[in-house]
């Protein structure tokens, strides 16, 4: 109910979306606010907007609803034929390249159902190992037994800065970039969490001007000179926005490759195997480290040129 109200912008429309009366919905929201001891919704002339506490609740509520939907899909698969369904978990870095693959390929599989979940590499590996996902795409080699990993494509992180920055022909250090101004993803995003943790190891508190919901949005704003950003090179190579100064992140942890992981005991159906084969063929065709219509200033270090 709370998520429906946020999405609709009013208690009345949110209640209607979940099949409740206005009075019932209002009383439930009031009870929720009393239980949590915080105000969750702010009533304004244009409708309902979440407070800071409400925004936090909505983020976690959506995650819970997503997991509940995954559970329903898993149970549906046990009741019927799941041979033409693939549950695919991906880390944030691979989402743009994966989206391009799906856009180019999915029409060839008209009866295949693909459920994609975005989470951290560690969580992807956990889901695949525990049977919560059939396939996973990660940037960190999984630890422990029970998984098989195959290389997909290069996945290095790069610094994006607009042309208003002085010295764009000189690659900035990671520490310099993180001192801001910065354009980034939401704090809860797995890739952003990794970047921020590396900054804190250096004793730097990242200075963000704005946090945006997608990598494409982060790149687009950073390209204007509003701030620097750290994104996967796959995002840069596919962006339609104007070129910016692109430099590799010269840190060992930023030299990454996307890996396809499956359980060692996973036996795909013929349809699932056809989808996997298509993904591996796409891997052989794409090279995200080649500059595609962007200007790269400075020479990438050896680790960014490999693959």
**Average pLDDT, integer, range 176-194:** 90
Per residue in 192-250, pLDDT tens?
Answer: 999 999 999 999 999 899 999 888 899 989 988 889 999 988 888 777 665 668 888 98
* Selected residue with higher pLDDT from 152 and 73: 152
pLDDT at position 110 is: 85
Question: pTM for the whole thing?
Answer: 0.61
Q: Is pLDDT above 50 for 68? A: yes
Contact 18, 10 (CB under 8 A): no
Question: Exposed, middle or buried by CB within 10 Å (0-12, 13-18, 19+), for 56?
Answer: middle
Q: State the alpha helices, DSSP H only, in the chain.
A: 2-8, 11-17, 22-36, 52-79, 95-105, 121-130, 174-178, 190-201, 215-223, 233-237, 270-285, 302-305
Tell me how long the chain is: 307
Q: Is pLDDT above 80 for 285? A: no
Per residue in 19-60, pLDDT tens?
Answer: 888 888 899 999 999 999 999 999 887 788 999 999 999 999
* Selected residue with higher pLDDT from 289 and 13: 13
Rounded CA-CA distance 109/232 in Å is 28
With vertex at residue 163, the alpha carbon angle to CA 159 and CA 166, rounded to the nearest 5 degrees, is 85
Question: Tokens representing 86?
Answer: 């693939």
Element (DSSP H or E) covering residue 151 = strand 147-154
Percent of the chain at pLDDT exceeding 70: 85
Question: Tokens representing 59?
Answer: 């983020």
Contact 195, 205 (CB under 8 A): no
């Amino acid at each position: 109910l709370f998520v429906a109200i946020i999405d609709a912008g009013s208690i009345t429309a949110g209640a209607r979306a979940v099949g409740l009366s206005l009075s019932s919905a209002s009383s439930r929201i009031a009870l929720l606010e009393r239980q949590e001891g915080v105000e969750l919704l702010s009533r304004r002339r244009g409708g309902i907007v979440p407070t800071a506490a409400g925004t936090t609740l909505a983020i976690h509520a959506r995650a819970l609803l997503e997991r509940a939907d995954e559970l329903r899909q898993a149970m549906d698969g046990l009741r019927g034929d799941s041979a033409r369904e693939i549950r695919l978990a991906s880390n944030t870095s691979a989402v743009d390249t994966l989206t391009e693959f799906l856009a180019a390929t999915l029409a060839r599989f008209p009866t295949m159902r693909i459920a994609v979940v975005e989470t951290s590499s560690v969580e992807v590996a956990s889901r695949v190992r525990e049977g919560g996902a059939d396939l996973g795409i990660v940037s960190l080699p999984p630890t422990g037994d029970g998984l098989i990993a195959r290389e997909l494509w290069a996945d290095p992180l790069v610094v994006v800065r607009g042309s208003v920055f002085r010295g764009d022909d000189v690659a900035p250090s990671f520490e310099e970039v993180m001192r801001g101004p910065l354009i980034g993803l939401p704090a809860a995003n797995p890739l952003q969490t990794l970047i921020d943790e590396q900054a804190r190891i250096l004793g730097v508190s990242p200075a963000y001007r704005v946090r945006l919901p997608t990598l494409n949005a982060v790149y687009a704003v950073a390209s204007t000179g509003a701030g620097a950003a750290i994104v996967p090179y796959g995002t840069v190579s596919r962006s339609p926005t104007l070129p910016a100064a692109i430099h590799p992140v010269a840190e060992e942890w930023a030299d990454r490759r996307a890996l396809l992981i499956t359980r060692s005991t996973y036996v795909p159906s013929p349809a699932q195997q056809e989808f996997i084969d298509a993904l591996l063929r796409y891997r052989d065709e794409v090279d995200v480290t080649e500059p595609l219509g962007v200007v790269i200033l400075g020479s990438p270090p050896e680790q960014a040129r490999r693959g």
